[in-house]
Amino acid sequence: MKEQTKNWLDFTKEDLKMAELAFEEEIYNQVCFHSQQAVEKILKALIEEKEEVPKEHRLLKLSRICGQLRYNLEEFQEDFEFLDKFYTSTRYPFIIGMLPEGLPIYEDAKKSIELAKKICVFLEGLISKK
């Protein structure tokens, strides 16, 4: 495994930890943001093993790149779409209106962190097979 891949994985774990801590503190917008970030970083770890990582943040686009590298992530497309909506909308107060339902609530946060953990376990398995 490349050293930079390990770095991506370390950052992935940090974002998952931040999501868990924010969940305990009921800071749901940060749970959703860090869940999205964890998945973004592990997708980049997967890409890193085969080519240069693009400056891209959208999970759907990163997953298409993974598809071009022969990783089948079709089963996660709806999950990526769900998490993608939190990348920008949870970062800045002037963008809060981008989410039609407003700030994320408990259910959004719970789903976000569960999806992030599930995706990260699966992708880490792909990376460790190399």
Share of the chain above pLDDT 90, in %: 77
- pTM of the shown model: 0.91
Domains in the chain, CATH or no CATH each:
3-128 (1.20.120.330)
What is residue 8's three-state secondary structure? helix
Q: What is the pLDDT of residues 104-122, one digit of tens each?
A: 889 999 999 999 999 999 9
Residue 99 clears pLDDT 60, i.e. is over it: no
- Pairwise CA distance, residues 51 & 54, whole Å: 9
pLDDT per residue as tens digits for the range 16-42 = 999 999 999 999 989 999 999 999 999
- The H or E element spanning position 12 is helix 3-24
What would the two tokens of residue 67 be? 């598809």
Q: Dihedral, CA atoms, 63, 92, 4, 119, nearest 10 degrees?
A: -40
